[in-house]
Structure 1
Amino acid sequence: MTTQAPAQTFSVPDKWQWFTESRYGLFIHWGPYAQFGRGEQVLFREHMNQAEYADAASAWNPERFDPELWADTARKAGFKYACFTTRHHDGYCMWDSAYTDYSSAKQAPKRDFVREYIEAFRKAGLRVGLYYSWIDWRLPAYFDGPEKDPEGWAKAKEYLHNQVKELLTNYGQIDHFFFDGVWPRNADDLGSVELLEEMRKLQPNILINNRLGYSEQHDGYRADGGIGAGDSDTLGDFGTPEHLIVVDRKRLWESCQVTTWRLWSHVFGERWRPADYLLDMLVECAEKGGAHGGNLLLNVGPTADGQFPPEFVERAEAIGRWLDVHGEAIYGSDGGAITEFITRGRQTTRGNNLYLIIRFWDGRPTLRLADLATRVKGVTLLTTGQTLGFAQQGDELVIDGLPQEAPSRLFPVIRVECEGPPEANAWGKQRLWEGDPHRVAEWARAQRGTSVYRDGQER
């Protein structure tokens, strides 16, 4: 089933236009958990010994970490921004924090990985984002909460707030901030509304995600009081559907997705999704996003010694080469799904151009596009630059001169230049399983009749 997202009515401030123009960001999950090779949550999921884990984390020393190589790879792959895990749920800090010695700066590496990442990615011309986990599996007070341990909770909350403000004070401009791990607390426990105000004072242009906890004051009452409800309906500048591509109609959004089958940090023996699958997620985000978000934040889990896995690099650079040719269909695009197109692929638009992104190349010389109401000026096979012939009668466009062999190992793209912003007729604006059912009745009645017999005639 495919649906056409209703138009979004909110406006995007100029300071955040970079986000909608980017469409494609790199998520980096990296920390001492990488040395176990079983995911970023191995401490909890395997119920490991906390002290033994801390010893291993403190001894971890990734000597092959080269942030400039990371940034160069990200740039070649077509990413426009990145988000780096400063501290995950295990509590280990990847920067020189004044509030703990459990960090890369104080333990074996003696390096501030956050600073090195930020400087390298800025130098490469990429926007920078930081991930920070509310939850810390080392701290009993986080789970006991303010009612059971008010003194311990106050201390834990102060630690969280101080670290966030530290990250936004010591490293220059931060464009993007990704909170995670609210459970079992809520926004009122965490004081996330107050923290947001402090964050915006420190970084007026920052984009902050919606994983801030549910607040009775801002989101209204929920039967569970917001416990376990990590995403706020109203707080935060962008939504973060995880492992899903779902439109957030209230604000900007980005889908965070793995390049492997499931886990975020480096895993020994994990299975990798193919490049066309990853590219399709990017195209789907652009198609559904419109001018108000619809980004893909695609993850990599570097190895314990600090390298991007070769499987990731191969796939990311293949997508980067595709974007070198077809990037105008993605970056700064205005959404798509102008007409029903799922039998061929996906659509995006930009200005007066409609882009037909062909997932299924059938080798036939012609392609028929129904229900396009806007007049067409020209058609180009963007993949090769070849001008294609076309004929338009009413709302039907027939494109000809297509090669038998697909001109790209990934998705070929056809650019349809229109006389104005592409628009569909009434039929094209509706989809299967939705819209006015009477239109289907009229279509069947007008073209074949009303009966169950082959010719549609009543007997």
Structure 2
Amino acid sequence: MTTQGFTVPDRWKWFTESRYGLFLHWGPYAQYGRGEQVLFREHLNQQEYAEAAARWNPVHFDPELWADTAKKAGFKYACLTTRHHDGYCLWDSAYTDYSSAKQAPGRDFVREYVDAFRKAGLRIGLYYSWIDWRLPAYFDGPEKDPEGWRKVRDYLHNQVRELLSNYGQIDHFFFDGVWPRNADDLRSVELMEEMRRLQPNILINNRLGYSMERQGYRADGGAGAGDSDTLGDFGTPEHLVEVDRTRLWESCQVSTWRLWSHVIGERWRPADTLLDLLCECAEKGGEHGGNLLLNCGPTADGQLPPQFVERALEIGRWLEVHGEAVYGSDGGSLTEFVTRGRQTISGNNLYLIIRFWDGRPEMRLPDLATPVTGVTLLTTGQKLEFEQTEDGVIIRGLPIEAPTRLFPVIRVECESRPQANEWGRQRLWEGDPSRVAEWARGQRGTSVYLDGRER
């Protein structure tokens, strides 16, 4: 698979074929039910928070059930927050006792997660936060506290090495929370090189900090579109879908309205909205990645919220039928189709993902230039009649009622990889405006009057 400027190596093709990953924000902050950053956002007492974290014991955590649900929901990989900004570790770290292994649970949750998800056939991702709100030296930095900063940086590097040395193959690594440090402070470039030595096939995200020493390295280090041009393997637009033209990318999105961890009273996005995010990523992906990393915040006692499970499994059932339009697709938006839905391409097939089903028996697909050999309503398997002209394709025989509560999909089978005509390549508000002038001039004239004739 080729992108603009680079070829995706074979070891990373699993990422472009997956399209859909599960993000898991989970830790002692779930006890508060007010978001994963409650310690900082509400300026809680540090010692009281730590004592509550040490008592946290999610007795209903069943990693095999999580993995089984993720597989049924159609996810192909997952990423667990091994340590968020509060500093609590979900594994048996040799460098601190502030962990699930050494406090109340007495369990290595990362080990259990990795084993269960790998057994279920999912790729393994780990999230790790640079920032630790407990450690003053992180915020004082090397200028104010050089010795304290050195100890903190060694701690961070050692924990990353630990995670990549003790849990088998790690496929995906998601850094977060650089602020207020930068890549030079963190020595993130050197750490990334060490990570590749430990895990040659790993994909590392772009939240690695800005480097003054190495011109050209840029990264956002937090929420946003993921501005890194060259550092890291994939971009991480957060709360939005934004194509990274220079690398692989995945949009990380919440399944609720805003927060990442379990929140009491949070509102949930409906299944069609979540599915549309996945389809948007696939459509916009081109050959750059275009994945969705959809978040779930498990409850404090270790369960996946039923609201999430209900929505995820509904999408999973849709993917069982329509997955070929998403998994391994090469993006779409081949022709003007916003009035109907989204498009993806895989091989010689163009997939029409219908967001708006109008109940009419015919559908016009403009601007497809490649000869069509067949049209199938993928949702039901029904073969549809079609007529192709130089202006596009007319598809006939569509049912009045939408054949699925979510998005019906039509597969348009072509003689070769689908290509658009000039109108399909140049869209509304884009391209050469002279084509619009010629269109208007040739079909109605030049004047403001009804018949287009000058008076």
Contact 2:25-2:36 at 8 Å conserved across structures: yes
- Rate the CA distance shift 1:12–1:105 in 2: closer, same or farther, 3 A: same
Which residue of structure 2 aligns with residue 3 of structure 1? none
Contact 1:214-1:227 at 8 Å conserved across structures: no
> 1:261-301: per-residue Cα shift (whole Å, max 9, x none)?
00000000000000000000000000011233000000000
Which residue of structure 2 aligns with residue 44 of structure 1? 40
Q: Is the aligned partner of 1:137 residue 2:133?
A: yes
For 1:47-446, list aligned pairs within 5 A: 47-220=43-216, 231-446=227-442
Separation in 2 of the partners of 1:225 and 1:45? 20
Which residue of structure 1 aligns with residue 7 of structure 2? 11
Separation in 2 of the partners of 1:401 and 1:147? 71
- Rate the CA distance shift 1:75–1:225 in 2: closer, same or farther, 3 A: closer
Q: Per the alignment, in what secondary structure is the counterpart of residue 273 of structure 1?
A: coil
> 1:3-54: per-residue Cα shift (whole Å, max 9, x none)?
xxx9734210000000000000000000000000000000000000000000
Which residue of structure 2 aligns with residue 22 of structure 1? 18
Separation in 1 of the partners of 2:321 and 2:220? 50
TM-score (norm 1): 0.96
> 1:320-343: per-residue Cα shift (whole Å, max 9, x none)?
000000000000001101101000
Separation in 2 of the partners of 1:334 and 1:227? 28
Q: Per the alignment, in what secondary structure is the counterpart of residue 129 of structure 1?
A: strand
- Rate the CA distance shift 1:231–1:435 in 2: closer, same or farther, 3 A: closer
> 1:165-215: per-residue Cα shift (whole Å, max 9, x none)?
000000000000000000000000000000001100000000000000011
Separation in 2 of the partners of 1:68 and 1:225? 35
Point out where structure 2 has 5 or more consecutive residues left out of the alignment. none
Contact 2:179-2:221 at 8 Å conserved across structures: no
Separation in 1 of the partners of 2:93 and 2:227? 27
* Deviation for aligned residue 1:314: 0.3
Equivalent residue letter for 1:121: F
Q: Per the alignment, in what secondary structure is the counterpart of residue 291 of structure 1?
A: coil
Q: Per the alignment, in what secondary structure is the counterpart of residue 86 of structure 1?
A: strand
Contact 2:3-2:247 at 8 Å conserved across structures: no
Separation in 1 of the partners of 2:414 and 2:11? 30
Number of residues paired by the alignment?
453
CA-atom RMSD, angstroms? 1.7
Contact 1:207-1:238 at 8 Å conserved across structures: yes
Separation in 2 of the partners of 1:373 and 1:417? 12
Equivalent residue letter for 1:392: Q
Equivalent residue letter for 2:19: R
Equivalent residue letter for 1:439: R
Point out where structure 1 has 5 or more consecutive residues left out of the alignment. 1-5
- Rate the CA distance shift 1:280–1:268 in 2: closer, same or farther, 3 A: same
Percent of pairs identical after alignment? Answer: 81
Q: Per the alignment, in what secondary structure is the counterpart of residue 352 of structure 2?
A: strand
Equivalent residue letter for 1:195: L
Contact 1:67-1:116 at 8 Å conserved across structures: yes
